[in-house]
Structure 1
Amino acid sequence: MVVKFPQHFTLKPRLALWTDGTIWENWSRHESFLRSMPKWKPHQIASVAEESLRIISKTTPIHRPEFQCRGLVVGYVQSGKTANFTAVAARAADVGYRLIIVLSGIHDSLRNQTQRRLDQELAGVGVDWITLTDEATDFQEPAVADGFALTGTVLIVAKKITPILKRLNQWLGRLEGRLADVPVLLIDDEADQASINTRGNRRDPSIDNETAPDDDTAPSLTNALIRDILRKAPRATYIAYTATPFANILIDPDAKDGQVGEDLFPKDFVVQLPRPDGYTGTEELFGISAQGRDVLRPVDPADVKALKSKQRRRSEAIVARGPLDLPQSLADALLTFALVGAIRLLRGQTGKPHTMLVHVSQLQQDQMRIGAAIKEQIRSWFHHEEAEPGVLRQMFLSTLAGLGTVELPASEENILKEAVNNLARLDVVVLNSTTGDELEYDLRPGRQLVAVGGNRLSRGLTLEGLTVAYFLRTTTLADALLQMARWYGFRAGYDDLIRIWTTEGIAQWFVELALVEESLRDSITALNKAGRRPDQMAIRMRAHSKLLLTSKNKSKMQADDARSWSGENPQTILFPLYDRDLLERNLDLASELLRRHPPTQEAYGGAIAHDVPVEDIALFLRRYEGHPNSIAFQSPEIADWILERAEAGELVNWTVFVANPERERQVLLGGRPFGLVRRSLQANESIGILIDPRHEGVDLHGGPDNYRATAGFSAMSMREDRPAQQGLLLLYPLDPEPLRSPTQAVLGVALSLPWTSDGGERFVVNRGLRNV
């Protein structure tokens, strides 16, 4: 039963320990609720059960008289983090936590959304919950502070802004002395936003008597208030949730403030949530899984210029512009949105939200101008239809041809007719503080919505049924870019209809972000497999070639690590596709290597040469010529590192694998034909991810089949099992036709490298942990 705060209460500790004897009453009720919901499948509920138990089991047992536990849970953008922390909260109540505070973003829309869900799925079905907030009301300090009259768990869902956090601190301050009986769980959603300390820490005057606390070196206010909430509770657990944890991993692990205590570094645990079934993320849209998908559409630089206001210098005012004629690329995206909405309706997906994202600029005047231009363009199209009946049908016929290979649910004529009708249904909303527009999915679930916005679309807010995105927002930060990509999520029944209009440069950023994300998740997996805490072993992150992982004031602890490729799979994703002479020289290099060491085995879709000397591998890499702008694959540096490891007795035995699919299109390498591998362009001169994950196991005992995982093959496990003496060079002769390259083949190169004794160092680490 959900009850409001009573006038008086008595704090009664509940002695439930998370042992085999724990009665999971709240979790069982929550689980039953999930089973009653048609959208939840049994295996998804089983995953939530397993992961929530794994997380609560990593926290400090609450029977200890004092503790400060810090943890981090890493999910995927728009991937069900709320479902996980709801289940964790249910289990936390069962093991004895008396106060659960959820900090849910910095906007009312996200807090209200989270409150509604927790009321429905947790407090509404659980045992003895006391809620101090509701969907319409953020936290207000109760008139009577001393008050858990029941023996249940108090739930607060609050915005992460300083006025609310000050109220929480003031209330807990009035409870001081009683909080020893109240284990506190603080769940911080979007924990890399606002929570990170971007300033300093005051000295502790009890330790350094000569130095008084200095407010000029105090932590940033939001960070200090969160730390102070935790400091006031003798038994407190803090769990940060985010899909972009770069800033959280780079918190100073030893930071303490003289007044508010230790910082929020996740010293006790980091948990990587599994990729959910049916999830569409960076890997699916820009990585190896994107091969064969027809997702990206280029936006001409002239269109970008037309849509954005110009500001020459920071000191200059932004020049207002007049009415906008909709650029062709945005008009094409709008027609595609109306068309794919018609296809969804004809597939039977009625009464469900359908959304188009238009994210061009953070400036409200740009957003208003673009929103007005979209509305005017729709009106203009229908005026044209009145003057010349059938013109819209012809426009949609061209749009349908440009949609590519999509399974159509009806005849072409019926689809075109429904597309015209659907164009008339489109609602255009501009989401910013000036307009006050809202998504209103609950009130109007079948809405065909064009959402134009900026910062409100940058984090947390879910765009339901998103298919078409027109995205030109640039940034210098990898975490911000990933959060802006609202096209991630679950797209059951219309995954094939996703289309993204963006510039080639932005698309290339996302291609590389697929590798950055993979590297981060691999490093978290390695940490947990090693049985180490985050304060005992540095989580290592691959640096992006163009973007900072997070802002400089959140990454003061970032340090470039000694360059090592231990446990890595460096691969070419960027090619000089139009330099024919260079590409031909690379093919000659491969031919020379294969003549000296001809393959002796055919397996796994390729040819394998065993026992190749390390010197020949290093020579090949040193002479291989990649794209001049490539950062991720620097073959001469890799060659030098391989020879250094060989001197230490590692990487002395090599296998060469040449992909050889059964295709009519072939190329001669080393005097024999090899089938050409098809990869498509994801951005200018980039193919996304090169390798087939199973190929990393072609030379291991039992082959790739020993490393099958739910989503395919576990390349990380292959590298972990690879002997330190054994390296693998993978060659991919790529078909030049889809790459629009004027050569007989484009040679892609990759390596699968074992963990070596130089520590498996990656590219970026927390400098406070680089020697642990």
Structure 2
Amino acid sequence: MATVRVVGTEPLLPHWTDRMGPESWPHWGRLQATLRANPRWKPHQIESVTSESLRVLRHLRDPLRPAPFQGRGLVVGYVQSGKTANYTAVAARAVDAGYRIVIVLSGIHDSLRTQTQLRLERELVGSQAGIGGTDGPGREWGLLTTATEDFRECDPGVLQSDAAFLVVAKKNVSVLARLDRWLEAAQPFLSDRAVLLIDDEADQASINTRGNRASDPAVCEDEEDDGPPPSRTNELIRSILGRIPKASYVAYTATPFANLLVNPAAADREVGDDLFPRDFVVQLPRPDGYTGTEELFGASAQGRDVLRPVPDDDVRALRPARRRKSAEVVLQAEQGALPGSLREAILAFCVAGGVRSLRPSLDGQPHTMLVHVSQRIEDQERIADAIREQVELWREADRQGQRLEPLFQEAWEAFRASVDAPADDAAVVRASIAVMRRLVILVLNSVTGEDLEYEEKPGRHIVAVGGNRLSRGLTLEGLTVSYFLRTTAMCDTLLQMARWYGYRSGYEDLIRIWTTDGIARWFSELALVEQSMRDSIVALGRAGRRPDQMAIRLRGHSSLLLTARNKSSMAVARQDSWSGEHPQTVLLPLSDPGRLQANRALADGFLASLPAALPCHGGLLLRDVAPEAVCDFLRAYWVHEEVVAFRSDLLADWIAERAAAGELTDWSVFVASPGEAPRQASIGGLRVGLARRSRVSSESIGILTDPRHEGVDLPDGPDAYRRAGGSYDADAMRGARPPTQGLLIVYPLDPEPLGVTSTDAVIALALSLPNTSDSATKWIVNSGVSDG
């Protein structure tokens, strides 16, 4: 058999998958052909699914090995980024390798389960239905669930067939209980059948939020010493796994904070080990063309016209104080009138739809607007009714012959600045009015039963008003405009509620988000939290360690919990060093002229006191700077009051400590000076171009640092640290930095795009720090796992 070459960080060692030759993949081959026939799938995307599904498969247990075995793993993707495509491919490959039953636990809502069932039937099973098919013995499928019916108990003797079996079950206690009973009855047929259990949205419902019963009840002196049973969904998943002699459990999620904080040693005497991913954690690569936190709120958001502020009055009108019981949502004094910002958002959605209809590749495709204000069903109904009333007013005016062109022309003028616009403005206005006439307003919650029906009713322009049903897994096709006021205390919940993530090929310029300043600031910091987590997962793989051998570090958020407290009992917060880190001023005191002016004068005096500057890599480099000078500068620098990741006084103290220990003794200062900058300033006698950044909230600029700047003082410069695709690997630059060598990066920012008039340059800072001998940024770690 030919040896399989795996793309990834794992070493190419002998492995059980090496027995699989080119002819050994009939199910995967059929799926691959299906993807190739779909024009929405590009060759490089299919190549990525090919390599990444094989990488995950290599982490699973060999299905042909003798029983018993129990595998536990975790695959981390991005919100709405192709996790389903990956686990569909993994399932196909697993069946080819010898797994005979695939169980997919698909969220907690019927809509997501149905969506997943239909997709797996189409892509994994193909045209078959029930048991049988034309692929030959051992290559057919048995479907134990359908698009209209969740799992029901059937004769377990069906497992005597050579078919591979598929179950797509909702994470509902009654459904899981039926599946558990059926597997108990099926014991005579399971001894040689390996089962792959895929847990989609695995941080939802699957996490144990209660306790575990003592392994030996005899040691308990009284009943109170015996712990409580696990939470019911978690208990049933563990019970299901315990009934299967040969099982591999793979959790999938984009927000794995709770999964990584499960007690690795937790066990219950009746249902066994908890679901901690002790065997592996795999981070899927960032997909090409993906729009996520980074693109909307981080460094990549610079220059994008995405965010629109929702005034406080509008927030109060739509989401008043909790103490109000009789009217949780007030739609202003004029009965049925929408707050101005929501009215603007709906007009913008019509304009976005009009522009889409004039782009041949998008005309007739689904188009959606998200309105997510409250989790309360009665609130959603009121908001949807008010939207319908407003739309009906426009339609009635249109029917009576009133000219709506000025209204939509104004909306188009507000929209068009950053849009790849058609030459004919009148055509856009006409198309926008046509969209308004066709708007469909749907309420998506557990009561209405309404559905998006993208496949059954293509080409609709849908305003989707909802709450929790819009918060997990459910894909909003063609999403352009979001109106989002929903608050939460947890990072994972906030990320999952942001349904504006995903692929926006052909209409990236049409994305608009109406939200509050505070929520935008949360997301800006979330860009750092997410990237830190993903970097830590990659570092685990590079170190060749399992998740139960080395803790994955999670950066803390200044305002939010990473996950609910009852999901994170093993979490321990630590503030250690900034070793190997790149702290930066993502929050700036933009509304405080005094601090901005003080920082401007500080930079002027600091740079004037340093050695001569040499131009390089889009800026000026000043070498041989004493650590004491850097520390004095940092201590005098005014930071934003709410900043967490860049506490300049604490950073200065830490640098002084490391310098006393013989580290961080050799400093360089780099002043960013883009040659193409339209504006310049003289700082410390240096003529520099002003870098341009824009606000993502009132005082946040997203990610500040240009990755190449972290290598300007290294011997071979930043170009020695380019990745295959041309991007710069700043993490590798910090890894190559000697422990003695630190870099302070000064970014003089153009005040004009920041809306600042009190100074000619806003001074922002970043540091590129080597790995030092100490090893503390606020980190959250699993206290049950060694720090490695």
Query: Normalising by the residue count of structure 2, what TM-score does the alignment of the two structures yield?
Result: 0.92
* Contact 1:732–1:749 under 8 Å retained in 2: yes
Match of 2:767 in 1: 751
Equivalent residue number for residue 721 of structure 2: 707
Query: What's 1:602 paired with?
Result: 615
- Corresponding residue for 2:118? 116
Identity rate, percent? 55
Distance 1:242 1:466 in 2: 21
Q: How does 1:109-258 map to 2 (within 5 A)?
A: 109-124=111-126, 127-142=139-154, 144-176=155-187, 178-205=189-216, 208=219, 217-258=228-269
Equivalences, count: 753
Letter in 1 for 2:79: V
Question: Which of residues 511, 535, 538 is equivalent to 2:548?
Answer: 535
CA distance, structure 2, for counterparts of residue 718 and residue 130 of structure 1: 52
How far apart are the structure 2 equivalents of 1:366 and 1:189?
29
Q: Provide, for residues 52-81 of structure 1, a one-character-per-residue CA deviation record: whole Å limited to 9, x for no partner.
A: 111111223331532221111110000010
Q: Deviations over 1:331-373 (max 9, x none)?
A: 1111111111011001122221001111111111111111111
Worse overlay, 98-107 or 404-413: 404-413
Question: What is aligned with 2:8?
Answer: none
Residue 600 (structure 1) shift: 3.5
Deviations 1:589-613 (A, max 9, x none): 3233322323432111111112222
Aligned with residue 90 of structure 1, among 92, 97, 111? 92
1: CA distance between counterparts of 2:452 and 2:401?
34
Q: What SS does the aligned partner of 1:98 have?
A: strand
Counterpart check, 1:273 vs 2:287: no
Is residue 732 from structure 1 mapped to residue 747 from structure 2 by the alignment?
Answer: yes
Q: State the AA in 2 paired with 1:245.
A: P
Shift of 1:384: 3.7
Q: 2:524 aligns with which of 511, 515, 520?
A: 511
Task: Determine the C-alpha separation between the residues in 1 that align with 2:220 and 2:783.
Answer: 29
SS of 1:19's partner is helix
Displacement of 1:578 in angstroms is 3.1
How big is the shift at 1:762? 5.5
Q: Does 1:377 align with 2:390?
A: yes
Amino acid at match of 2:45: Q
Whether the 8 Å contact between 1:205 and 1:211 is mirrored in structure 2 is no
List per-residue Cα deviations over 1:275-295 (Å, max 9, x = no partner). Answer: 111111110011000000000
Amino acid of the structure 1 residue aligned with 2:28: W
Shift of 1:756: 2.4
Question: Is 2:695 aligned against 1:681?
Answer: yes
AA aligned opposite 1:304: V
Which residues of 2 match residues 335-346 of structure 1 at below 5 A?
335-346=347-358
Match of 2:451 in 1: 438
Corresponding residue of 1:490? 503
Q: State whether residues 598 and 670 of structure 1, in contact with CA within 8 Å, keep that contact through their aligned partners in structure 2.
A: no
- What is the one-letter code of the residue matched to 1:228? S
1:61 — aligned with what?
Answer: 62
Deviation at 1:755, TM superposition (A): 2.3
CA displacement, residues 371-406 of structure 1 (integer Å, 9 cap, x when unaligned): 11111111212334456732x211111111111221
Alignment-derived partner of residue 11 in structure 2: none
1:631 aligned partner: 644
| Residue 676 of structure 1, CA deviation | 0.8
In 1: Cα distance, 2:359 partner to 2:423 partner:
8
The separation in 1 between residues aligned to 2:187 and 2:402, in whole angstroms, is: 75
Cα distance in structure 1, aligned partners of 2:381 and 2:777:
48
Query: Is residue 2:405 matched to residue 1:393?
Result: yes
- CA displacement at 1:246 relative to structure 2: 0.6
Partner of 1:12: none
Q: For 1:4-23, what aligned pairs fall within 5 Å after superposition? A: 17-22=16-21, 23=24
Q: Is 1:521 paired with 2:537? A: no
| Aligned with residue 308 of structure 1, among 310, 314, 319 | 319
The one-letter amino acid paired with 2:302 is Q
Higher mean Cα deviation, 355-364 or 316-325?
A: 316-325
> 1:43 maps to what in 2?
44
Alpha-carbon distance, 1:737 to partner: 1.3
- 8 Å contact kept, 1:458–1:484: yes
For residues 469-510 of structure 1, give each alpha carbon's deviation from its aligned partner in whole angstroms, at most 9, with x where no partner exists. Answer: 011111111111111111111111111000001111111111
The residue aligned with 2:32 is 31
The C-alpha deviation readout for 1:265-307, integer Å capped at 9, x for no partner, is 1111111111111111110011000000000001111111111
Q: Are residues 380 and 331 of structure 1, via their aligned partners in 2, closer, same or farther at CA, if it must alter by over 3 Å?
A: same
Look up the SS of the partner of 2:555 in the other structure: coil
- For 2:782, the aligned partner's letter is N
Unpaired runs of at least 5, structure 1: 1-15
Is 1:547 aligned with 2:560? yes
Q: Deviations over 1:694-734 (max 9, x none)?
A: 11121223222222233722222222222222221111001
Structure 2: distance between partners of 1:384 and 1:241 = 49
* Residues 712 and 162 of structure 1, relative CA distance in 2, 3 Å threshold: same
Equivalence for 1:11: none
What CA deviation, in whole Å up to 9, does each residue of 1:567-595 have, x standing for no partner?
21110011112323322222233233322
Q: CA deviation at 1:317?
A: 6.4
> Is the counterpart of residue 288 in structure 1 residue 299 in structure 2?
yes
Does the CA contact (< 8 Å) of 1:213 and 1:258 recur in 2?
no
* Closer/same/farther in 2, CA of residues 683 and 233 from structure 1, 3 Å limit: same
**What displacement does 1:540 show?**
0.7
Counterpart residue number, 1:6: none
Contact kept in structure 2, 1:17 and 1:95, CA below 8 Å: no
Give the distance between the partners of 1:257 and 1:540, measured in 2 at CA. Answer: 27
Report the CA distance shift for 1:268/1:368 in structure 2 as closer, same or farther (over 3 A).
same
Residue 670 (str. 1) matches residue 684 (str. 2): yes
Tell me if 1:478 matches 2:480: no
Between the aligned partners of 1:135 and 1:70, the Cα distance in structure 2 is 28
Shift of residue 146, structure 1, vs aligned partner = 3.1
- One-letter amino acid of the structure 2 residue matched with residue 698 of structure 1: V
Q: For residue 729 of structure 2, what is the amino acid of its counterpart?
A: S
**TM-score normalised by structure 1 residue count:** 0.94
CA separation in 1, counterparts of 2:774 and 2:674? Answer: 36
Which residue of 2 is the match for residue 716 of structure 1? 731
8 Å Cα contact 1:203-1:211 kept in structure 2: no
Distance in 2, matches of 1:177 and 1:519, equals 47
**Distance in 2 between residues matched to 1:254 and 1:754, nearest whole Å:** 34
Does 1:691 find its partner at 2:692?
no
Question: More displaced, 594-603 or 290-299?
Answer: 594-603
- Name the stretch that deviates more: 64-73 or 20-29: 20-29
The partner residue of 2:463 within 444, 450, 455 is 450
Letter in 2 for 1:556: S
Paired amino acid for 2:623? H
Match of 1:764 among 740, 762, 780: 780
Deviations along 1:506-546, one digit per CA (max 9) or x if unpaired, are: 11111111111111111111111111111111111111111
CA distance in 1, matches of 2:507, 2:536: 33
Aligned mates of 1:636, 1:304 — CA distance in 2: 37
String of CA shifts for 1:645-672, please: whole Å, max 9, x gaps: 2333322222211101123522222212
- Structure 2 unaligned spans of 5+: 1-14, 128-134
Contact 2:574 2:776 in 1 (8 A): no
Alignment of 1:321-332 (within 5 A): 323-332=335-344
In the alignment, the residues of structure 1 paired with residue 367 and residue 564 of structure 2 have an alpha-carbon distance, to the nearest angstrom, of 33
Change (3 A) 1:546 1:99: same
> CA contact under 8 A between 1:612 and 1:654: conserved in structure 2?
yes
- Could you tell me which residue of structure 1 aligns to residue 7 of structure 2? none
> Residue 599 and residue 572 in structure 1: after superposition, are their counterparts in 2 closer, same or farther (change >3 A)?
farther
Q: Which amino acid aligns with 1:69?
A: G
